Amino acid sequence: MDKYGQSSGACETVVAAKRWLSDRAFELELVKPAGFDFLPGQKVEVYIAGTTREYTIVSAPGDKHLSLCIRYLAKGKVSSRLAALRAGDVVVFSAPYGYFLHRPGRSVFVATGTGVAPYVSFARSGIRDFILLHGAAAASELYYRPLFEKTAACYVGCLSRLEEAAAAESTLYAGRVTDYLLQELVPGQYTFYLCGNGKMVAEAMKIIDDRFQRSRIFTESFFNDNG
């Protein structure tokens, strides 16, 4: 259809390594197929267990490997199969696609859980001067925190469970990302990127419409909980 909107052709490669980010997510590192070209923020469709799942690329285009961020559900048919893969196992997936790409402007990246994945590729590709609001249920699920603490102009880990936040470091924000948008972020005109569960994306858009008028919004929602 157009430059980035539609995938075409299937790619095949092998697993290079696997790195657990927490007990609920891991990064699957694949040997990058020759000529595989993508833009930070794009995703691929992985074909496995007789079905398909979309996963966001977390490596940078210039990296040697192609890495995917995968949310793990023990009872999930697909993610449990992917979690069982070992180095050398074959993985089949689509060409890269998607428009969740970085644009010029005062960037505010907002994510819940593994929704942080596209921002990982952004940061690894050299994008800087962004604000990142990352929401999680526990500090251990603030994935890629060291990377963002080095690369973001402002990194805000938001813990939705107050007791966890209180027990954790004081630098974390006790509340949801939407609470931060509503109460803390200085009003202004931004380019917002929202990636995560549909409920967060919908709530954040309402807040942005009210509080950050004339801002631009790019969204990537996921709703599936079937792993």
Q: Which residues contact 13 (CB under 8 A, 6 or more apart)?
A: 30, 31, 32, 33, 66, 90, 91, 93
* Closer Cβ to another protein, 149 or 209, answer by number: 209
Q: Please report the DSSP string for 48-107 in residue order.
A: ETTEEEEEEB-S-TTSSEEEEEEE--TT-HHHHHHHT--TT-EEEEEPPB------SSSE
Does residue 33 interact with another protein by CB under 8 A?
no
Length of the chain (residues): 227
Beta carbon of residue 160, minimum distance to another protein (angstroms, whole number): 20
The pattern of x and - marking residues 205 through 224 that bind another protein according to CB under 8 A reads xx-xx-----xxxxx-x-xx
Q: Which residue lies nearer to another protein by CB, 167 or 189? A: 189
139 alpha carbon, distance to own chain's centre: 16
- Nearest Cα residue to 49 out of 91, 78, 27, 26: 78
Q: Which of 4, 48, 80, 211 binds another protein (CB under 8 A)?
A: 4
The binder of another protein chosen from 73, 101, 137, 182 (CB under 8 A) = 101
When the beta carbons of 183 and 189 are compared against another protein, the nearer one is 189
CB neighbours (10 Å) of residue 203?
18
Q: Does 125 bind another protein (CB under 8 A)?
A: no
Q: If we measure between CA atoms, which residue out of 180, 182, 186 comes closest to residue 159?
A: 180
Number of H helices, E strands in the chain: 6, 12
Q: Which is nearer to another protein, 34 or 223 (CB)?
A: 223
Q: Which is nearer to another protein, 44 or 165 (CB)?
A: 44
Which helix (H) or strand (E) covers residue 212, if one does?
none
Write down the least CB distance from residue 3 to another protein, Å.
6
Contact pick of 3, 64, 75, 86 for another protein (by CB under 8 A)? 3
Distance between CA atoms of residues 91 and 184, nearest Å: 43
Q: Please choose, from the candidates 102, 107, 82, the residue with its C-alpha nearest in 3D space to the C-alpha of residue 18.
A: 82
Q: Which of 33, 126, 188, 198 binds another protein (CB under 8 A)?
A: 198
Q: Which stretch binds another protein (CB under 8 A): 45-53, 154-162, 170-178, 201-209?
A: 201-209
Q: Judged by CB, which is closer to another protein: 160, or 197?
A: 197
Binding residues for another protein, rule: CB under 8 A, are: 1-5, 99, 101, 103-104, 191, 198, 201-202, 205-206, 208-209, 215-219, 221, 223-224
